[in-house]
Amino acid sequence: GRGLAVRDVVVHYPDPASGKGPGTTAVRGVSLDLAPGEVLALLGPSGCGKSSLLRAVAGLEPVAGGSIAWDGRDLAGVPVHRRGFGLMFQEGQLFPHRDVAGNVAFGLRMAGARRAAASGRVAELLDLVGLAGYGPRPVTTLSGGERQRVALARALAPEPQLLLLDEPLSALDRGLRDRLAGDLRAALVATGTTALFVTHDHDEAFTVADRVAVMDAGRLLQLAAPEDLWRAP
Ligand code: ADP
Ligand code: ADP
């Protein structure tokens, strides 16, 4: 099938004392599908295994059981940079010595874009994330929210077949997060980007995603459109 297929995935970390054996089982047999163009939120309390599952999809953590496939192709043994996925984290990790355009263009140059073609594309991407005209700004002069907008533009630049976002708004304050969540959804929809979005925040999950996968203690409790989720007791 097309899109992402996660089947009975188990992720564990070695015991910190011995460095061996399954010390912590972070993901305990999770299965889910993500259709092309869909935005899925992984929602649950801190420590429930959301990030571990996302990192396994990215290829950053080994899978101890089950399988992960993209467009029907098993990703076992496929290294991070060969998966064609984009990544965005809580702190956007911008290059501090480059300006805004240079940061966004980095994503394009990694994808092999020529410089001339790239500058038009950089302007489009900055427009998309609400930062038109910000190209020459040093990233050191940006607010936290603006930095995450630049990080989003850079992540979208190579048109990743799947974008993996790990708590991208969690370092921001409440009001800013609400605004950015709406803008993030709009940017993903406008570009038709397939995305897996990790958050511990209900409102954020409901704003950003087409469907929400609720996790607890390493397991998937439910997976549904926001309006169909069980209400909290
Ligand atoms: P979440 O993203 O939902 O907050 P995580 O996937 O980060 O959860 O963590 C799930 C569990 O795995 C937690 O018990 C956490 O302490 C543990 N864990 C996460 N990363 C590591 C690691 N690198 N080494 C050991 N244990 C880890
Ligand atoms: P280089 O290492 O090739 O000199 P840098 O990333 O250091 O490139 O950027 C130098 C300047 O050129 C920056 O101010 C940046 O805005 C601009 N720039 C770099 N790459 C591009 C690009 N592909 N499109 C538009 N502007 C770019």
For residue 102, the ligand 2 atom closest to its alpha carbon is 15
Looking at residue 233, its pLDDT comes to 45
State yes or no: pLDDT of 100 exceeds 90.
Answer: yes
Strands (E), the chain: 4-14, 22-34, 39-43, 65-70, 73-74, 85-88, 162-166, 195-199, 211-216, 219-224
Start-end of H helices in 91-173: 100-110, 115-128, 144-156
Question: Distance from the CA of 87 to the center of ligand 2, in angstroms?
Answer: 21
Find the ligand nearest to 134 CA.
Answer: 2
Give CA separation, 10 vs 27, 66, 131, 215, in Å: 5, 6, 40, 13
Looking at residue 3, its pLDDT comes to 97
* Residue 156 to residue 195: CA distance in whole angstroms: 11
pLDDT tens digits, one per residue of 180-199: 999 999 999 999 999 999 99
Residues 80, 76, 164, CA angle at the centre, nearest 5°? Answer: 40
- What is the interface pTM, i.e. ipTM, of the complex? 0.76
For residue 52, the ligand 1 atom closest to its alpha carbon is 6
* Residue 103 to residue 97: CA distance in whole angstroms: 9
State yes or no: pLDDT of 118 exceeds 50.
Answer: yes
User: Any idea which residue has 């397939």 for tokens?
Assistant: 194
State yes or no: pLDDT of 231 exceeds 70.
Answer: no
Q: Are 53 and 11 in contact (CB under 8 A)?
A: yes
pLDDT tens digits, one per residue of 66-97: 999 999 999 999 999 999 999 999 887 899 99
Phi/psi at 34 (5° precision): -130, 120
Higher pLDDT, 179 or 118: 179
Atom 22, ligand 1: residue with shortest CA distance: 13
Q: Which of 104, 109, 115 to mutate to test ligand 2, by most ligand atoms within 8 A of the CB atom?
A: 115
Q: Which of 9, 11, 13 to mutate to test ligand 1, by most ligand atoms within 8 A of the CB atom?
A: 13
* Residue 65 to residue 46: CA distance in whole angstroms: 23
149's tokens: 């907008």
Question: Distance from the CA of 100 to the center of ligand 2, in angstroms?
Answer: 9
